[in-house]
Amino acid sequence: MARASFITLEGIEGAGKTTCMAQLRLLLKQAGIGFLETREPGGTQLGEDLRQLLLGHKHTGMSDDAELLLMFASRAEHLQQKILPALDNGQWVLCDRFTDATYAYQGGGRGIAYDRIRNLEDWVQQGLKPDLTLLLDLPVDLGLERAGKRSAPDRFESEAGMFFEKVRQTYLDLAAREPDRIKVIDASLTLDEVLAQITSTMNHFLSHHQS
Ligand code: T5A
């Protein structure tokens, strides 16, 4: 049996990650694979507390560097408490967002140099990267419209459209640089069509990652 895999979901606000996570859950269950489902920022008690600070409106003027470091503080805790122990135990990990989000939001969106992010990535992750990342891509207007229907805007969702254009473009640049790991899903289509793409990508991945 191949080692446990680490799978992440990415995309701008309202891309449909929560909805697609349910499909991933179903596919892994059908394949008889044990997994941990988690999210970032969050996933641990400390991470969820940091998530509230990061997404809430209490610290609206937070500096970009503080935001970046809090993302990695949450990630360091998450890796040590949850992700690495799960993978070591043979459990797959399904994570709603991971470091690609940091490159997209803090790098592309806020304009922090990618080298700074890479230094933190090397320090905190020690070479660990997702085995597969599903990038749900759709036009910014459509994503924000979908997210707006669902709940009041959090601190990130309160950013202007141009911020999300940069986030989206950075995600697409990352996918172009790592096409074997990051698979782009057209999330502008109907839910059924999006889920069909997720299923086909996962089935292809599973056929190569199970004995
Ligand atoms: N962040 C995170 C960083 O800045 N840096 C980092 O390093 C990390 C890890 C986290 C925030 O933190 C930032 C990015 C984020 O701003 P989050 O909760 O993970 O926040 O992310 P959100 O994008 O806010 O999550 P959302 O819940 O808004 O979006 P989803 O989960 O992508 O969308 P979902 O599934 O809830 O769908 C939204 C609505 O659209 C409908 C759904 O039914 C739902 O109502 N929908 C569709 N409708 C039509 N057709 C389809 N194909 C549809 N798919 C979904």
* Residue 132 belongs to domain with CATH number: 3.40.50.300
Q: Is residue 40 part of a domain?
A: no
Q: Is residue 78 part of a domain?
A: no
Structural domain that includes position 201: 6-35+89-209
CB crowding 77-94: b at 16 or more within 10 Å, else e: bbbeebbbebbeeeebbb
Q: Is residue 151 part of a domain?
A: yes
At 12-29, the pLDDT tens digits run 999 999 999 999 999 999
Nearest to 62 by CA among 74, 123, 71, 98: 71
Ligand 1 contact via 137 beta carbon (within 6 Å): no
Q: Is residue 75 part of a domain?
A: no
Ligand 1 contact via 101 beta carbon (within 6 Å): yes
CA triple 56-130-110, angle to 5 deg: 40
Residue 57 Cα to ligand 1 midpoint, Å, equals: 18
| pLDDT interval class at 150 (50, 70, 90) | confident
Distances (CA, A) of 54 to 23, 61, 76, 116, 196: 28, 11, 16, 19, 33
Q: Is residue 156 part of a domain?
A: yes
At 158-205, the pLDDT tens digits run 898 899 999 999 999 999 999 999 999 999 999 999 999 999 999 999
Q: Is residue 128 part of a domain?
A: yes
Ligand 1 contact via 70 beta carbon (within 6 Å): no
| pLDDT interval class at 211 (50, 70, 90) | low
| pLDDT interval class at 1 (50, 70, 90) | low
Ligand 1 contact via 191 beta carbon (within 6 Å): yes
Whose Cα sits closest to atom 42 in ligand 1?
Answer: 16
Q: What is the DSSP string of 118-140?
A: HHHHHHHHTT---SEEEEEE--H
Q: Is residue 138 part of a domain?
A: yes
Ligand 1 contact via 102 beta carbon (within 6 Å): yes
Cβ atoms of residues 143 and 13 within 8 Å: yes
* Number of domains composing the chain: 1
Give the whole-angstrom CA distance, residue 21 versus residue 199.
Answer: 11
Residue predicted with more confidence, 32 or 153:
32
For the segment 124-130, the average pLDDT, to the nearest whole number, is 97
Q: Which atom of ligand 1 is nearest to the CA of 188?
A: 52
Q: Is residue 19 part of a domain?
A: yes
Look at residue 2 and tell me whether its pLDDT is greater than 70. no
Alpha-helix runs per DSSP H in the chain: 17-30, 45-55, 64-78, 84-88, 99-101, 114-125, 140-150, 161-177, 191-209
Q: Which amino acid is at 2?
A: A
At 39-61, the pLDDT tens digits run 999 999 999 999 999 999 999 99
